[in-house]
Structure 1
Amino acid sequence: MKKYLLAIAIAFTLLPAVAQQICPVIPLPVKADKKNGSFKLSNSTVITSADSSLGTYLQEELFRRFGISAVTKQKKGSAEIVFKKASGLTNPDAYTLSISNNKVVISAGAREGFFNGIQSLLQLAEVAPLSGKSIQLPGWEISDAPQYAWRGVMLDESRNFFGKQKVKSILDWMAFYKLNRFHWHLTDVPGWRIEIKKYPLLTTVGGIGNIVDPKAPAAYYTQEDIREIVAYAQERCIVIIPEIDMPGHAAAANRAYPAFDGGGTDRYPQFTFNPGREGTYQYLADILTETDELFPSQLIHLGGDEVTFGNAAWDSDTGVIRLKQAMGLKDRKQVEDYFIQRMADTVLKRHNNVMAWDEIATAHLPADSTIVCWWRHDKPEALALSLQKGYSVVLCPRLPFYFDFVQDSSHKIGRRWKDGEFNTLQAVYDFSAGNIPVTKGHESLILGVQGCIWTETVHNDKRLDFLLFPRIAALAESAWTTSSRKAFNGFLGRLKAQQPLYAKDHLNYFDVFQPAKHPESGKVGTNYID
């Protein structure tokens, strides 16, 4: 922890003339120049935008955050915030932000860019002086665009369920930090969390239990809940990717519909779907069809991980034996790949892309519509194979992007890797795809990065906050800002200025500057699968 305190001390001992030029926005913009003049943000501010949803969103955020009641109009005002279409900005996430006397101009070529410009404006307002119900924004000229299109967060709600309001809160913070992909892990061993109307027992039976209490009342999202959350995310330019895990991690579903159970082990009973039963494929196709109708992302994550933990029963299953003979499959891995290929075909026929964990690299899937999540940091060969096959890749290696790992040497709850490694704020911040040798020559296939929150030790909102904040800010800058422009000391200075916002939102964040401020909470001794 001393290194953090030293770093922040260095950040604040910069020459005053230099320090004043540091843009306080996270993630750090590509170019930000301090200008003379300022803009008074107040109840007389007029917001003009051809896209009424953007104007309304900004208006609501100004009131929620500062109590400022700006007005949205089509005509110009004396002090206005203007959204200006810029055809020259071809990257949909790119924007420019100009703050001067009596005028703020956000320019972009697409809605995503305008939205990102709004977030930079809000961040500047959050650290500017508030006088009554007005804020004096200093002059800035910002030109900005991300290094990656995919800037993601994954939340596991099978092991512990958090509900609509917490998910919306996470989406709000993702938007604030320009994160734009929410990977929603909705099914696994402890519980099934998405309503499928054709198979109601998936939620009424499969939704029972969590990692702490296997008999906890059923908890899940109705289809109406899903639509509400998806719309909320869309307003914030966030794409939600649902995960229906298969053929492993299927115990919750198999408790509901045991006819499709492919067996497991004493440690992991009912772990797999049965690949040797033709009805399994139709059953899962029905589930994927209903899921696809709820999510406009045109992308479904099929899981595909850790199947070996529970597929030994396939060797003695008569249906699987017949399948192997009929299709010329030599072993369980080939059966697994066959299964994934069939389920991927179901998704692809609906004009979607398919996504899965890196175990599916061995399957034969179309390169132009397959996305692999590389999570096994100790298996670069899985990443190499994915890239060699031309699959697009999202980098989410356990080290440093699994946020269920502890983040400080003093923490006792949560994961550490086999040699004691864990995921500090700086490790998240410093990550660079360029440091992974097998990515050389395949840079165009790297879509971006993603932080993953598995919830074996996350039993409540308080613990979730502790693991997510402030690492979500470091993740955002790692995803947005190129390595050549990153500087951890500078990031800490900007984070220090934003930390009061976490308290304002009643988050139980980990304070890297005062570690004792919010002590670690949770339960020791959780059993992880991998």
Structure 2
Amino acid sequence: MKHFLLVLTGVAAFFIGKGQTVCPVIPLPVKAVKESGVFPMSAQTVICAGDASLQPLAVYLRGELQRRYQLPVTVGKKAGATTIYLKQSGKDTNVDAYTLIVNKKAITIAAAHREGIFNGIATLLQLSTAATSHGGVLTIDGWKITDAPQYAWRGLMLDESRFFFGKKKVLQLLDWMAFYKLNRFHWHLTDVPGWRLEIRRYPLLTTVGGIGNIVDSTAPAAYYTQEDIREIVAYAGLRNITVVPEIDMPGHAAAANRAYPAFDGGGTDRYPRFTFNPGREGTYQYLSDILTETAQLFPAGMIHLGGDEVTFGNAGWDSDTGITRLKQQHGLKDRKAVEDYFIQRMADTVLRLHNKVMAWDEIATATLPADSTIVCWWRHDKPEALAMALDKGYSVVLCPRLPFYFDFVQDSSHHIGRRWAKGAFNSLETVYNFSAAELPSVPGHASQVLGVQACIWTETVHNDNRLDFLLFPRISALAETAWTPADRKNFKGFTDRLKTQQQLYKQAGLYYFDIFNPGWHKESGKSADHYID
């Protein structure tokens, strides 16, 4: 994000009804009361962290104020002419809960946990975008905010196998996630087009498997080194974002199989080299080695194993002698049983690494430990998969294609991207109006629903502008759907607040879709011949 303008005309507050001022923050806080008076933030302002563990957050806030407004506030132990206090106190069981009080003397952000302090900082930074500036003083309106999200998991998935964006763009995306209090970055790093994660024990995964993308199968190898990964994970961690890596298996394995064909389980004419081979014992050690290095790079405490769409390329399993032998030894009656056996073995590896197992909803048929398994329900047309996962006691992240696949078009005038039956697409309003309570299998299992997540698959994304266009402003609707209780949500009120946000997009140089002026940025990109998630 580039520097924000210091004055946003006409966006300091919005009014609905007589005398009721609506907080200009996305996602909308649970409770926000407008207070009299304003806080004058200046070079004389001091950020005081009440505990040494909060010092990195104080430094982060100082850096953001400097970056956005060239405002040289300081971090210190003693109060200044005006002071921002970060205080860790209380015993709230919701780690993301916080209170924020802004008055003429001080700003106080208080929470029981570090995550809550960060969320309070994010809200303060959004309030600052509605402030006015004069003579080196940023004037922030008074507010008393008590807030906590409805979901602990507020996620975004980025597919970089099909198109590699690189570190600069990913860091920018993490900044916007933090701005909107999104806290899970699901990173799809391996798939058919390319392998994007350096594994030192198997260097060909990147030097050979990293060659190509969805546009050009001969593009030079592009991937993240382990040093890149550590930098990005640390950057995300400071912003209260957990990075969850996905190593897709046993399908979507073509890039890996180009590099190490000994573990190739075959495919089809349309999807060659699509699977790892579950009938070769060496496959399990090979993948265990990969998962071990992955776990060392990502402290998330969970690894996503993919597990989706294996049927696209596993027909060759029926004629593979090793797989035939495996079926006989373990009484596996068909390819689906072989798939479940494979997932269960690789899940055992993940569990031995002291990580939880995460995967797409096809794994609901496997037998896995309920307290260590997270299922991503993505097939909106397969509600039975969600019901099965919940009935088995698995935790669930809701990311159904409709409305959370952001590679779907977002406006009736758009033609590049996906649509579903009868032309269904994912507009800003459908993202905003999603409610888990309307899913038939959720009542009675609400405690198993960790949260929601949007996914950006990149078949039609061939540059940064196209990514921006698909993501903004739908990322803001995702944020409010993940955070704000249904009884506080109102699409009209949301779009009023969004007008401010779109000014920020413009200032940041994003190629966003303007819902108020759809012709502002033209749809660009190239339609895909087919989609494979």
Asked if these proteins are the same fold (TM beyond 0.5), I'd say yes
Check conservation: 1:67, 1:133, Cα contact below 8 A. Answer: no
Residue number in structure 1 paired with 2:66? 63
Residue number in structure 1 paired with 2:202? 199
CA distance in 2, matches of 1:330, 1:33: 62
Residue number in structure 1 paired with 2:155? 152
Residue number in structure 2 paired with 1:509? 512
Pair 392,13 (structure 1): closer, same or farther in 2 beyond 3 Å: closer
Letter matched to residue 347 of structure 2:
A
Deviation at 1:16, TM superposition (A): 6.3
SS in 1 for 2:492: helix
Q: Deviations over 1:68-102 (max 9, x none)?
A: 11000011112000011221433110000000112
Deviation at 1:15, TM superposition (A): 4.5
Is residue 295 of structure 2 the alignment partner of residue 281 of structure 1?
Answer: no
Is residue 446 of structure 2 the alignment partner of residue 426 of structure 1?
Answer: no
Where do residues 41-190 of structure 1 align in structure 2 (5 Å cutoff)?
A: 41-49=41-49, 50=51, 51-190=54-193
Q: Deviations over 1:120-167 (max 9, x none)?
A: 001000011122432111110000000000000000000000000100
Where do residues 212-223 of structure 1 align in structure 2 (5 Å cutoff)?
A: 212-223=215-226
Residue number in structure 2 paired with 1:28? 28
CA distance in 1, matches of 2:501, 2:313: 45
Letter matched to residue 23 of structure 1:
C
Deviation at 1:498, TM superposition (A): 1.7
Where do residues 125-524 of structure 1 align in structure 2 (5 Å cutoff)?
A: 125-524=128-527
CA distance in 1, matches of 2:162, 2:337: 29
CA distance in 2, matches of 1:335, 1:133: 66
Residue number in structure 2 paired with 1:17? 19
Q: Deviations over 1:471-512 (max 9, x none)?
A: 000000000011121100010011111211111111000000
Identity %: 70
CA distance in 2, matches of 1:12, 1:65: 23
Letter matched to residue 498 of structure 1:
Q
Letter matched to residue 217 of structure 1:
P
Residue number in structure 1 paired with 2:10? none
SS in 2 for 1:373: strand
The number of aligned residues is: 518
Q: Deviations over 1:348-403 (max 9, x none)?
A: 01111000000000000000000000000000000000000000000000000000
Q: Deviations over 1:22-54 (max 9, x none)?
A: 100100000000011110011111100122101
Q: Deviations over 1:45-68 (max 9, x none)?
A: 110012210110000000111111
Letter matched to residue 316 of structure 2:
A
Check conservation: 1:66, 1:133, Cα contact below 8 A. Answer: no
Letter matched to residue 185 of structure 1:
H
SS in 1 for 2:441: helix
Check conservation: 1:374, 1:397, Cα contact below 8 A. Answer: yes
Deviation at 1:524, TM superposition (A): 2.5
User: Structure 1, unaligned stretches of length 5 or more?
Assistant: 1-10
SS in 2 for 1:439: coil
Check conservation: 1:95, 1:144, Cα contact below 8 A. Answer: yes
SS in 1 for 2:421: coil
SS in 1 for 2:168: helix
CA distance in 1, matches of 2:243, 2:15: 42
Check conservation: 2:88, 2:114, Cα contact below 8 A. Answer: no
- CA RMSD after TM alignment: 1.1
Residue number in structure 1 paired with 2:4? none
CA distance in 1, matches of 2:153, 2:302: 13
CA distance in 2, matches of 1:438, 1:529: 27
Pair 288,525 (structure 1): closer, same or farther in 2 beyond 3 Å: closer
Residue number in structure 2 paired with 1:8? none
User: Structure 2, unaligned stretches of length 5 or more?
Assistant: 1-12
Deviation at 1:182, TM superposition (A): 0.2
SS in 1 for 2:344: helix
CA distance in 2, matches of 1:509, 1:136: 29
Check conservation: 2:99, 2:144, Cα contact below 8 A. Answer: yes
TM-score (norm 1): 0.97
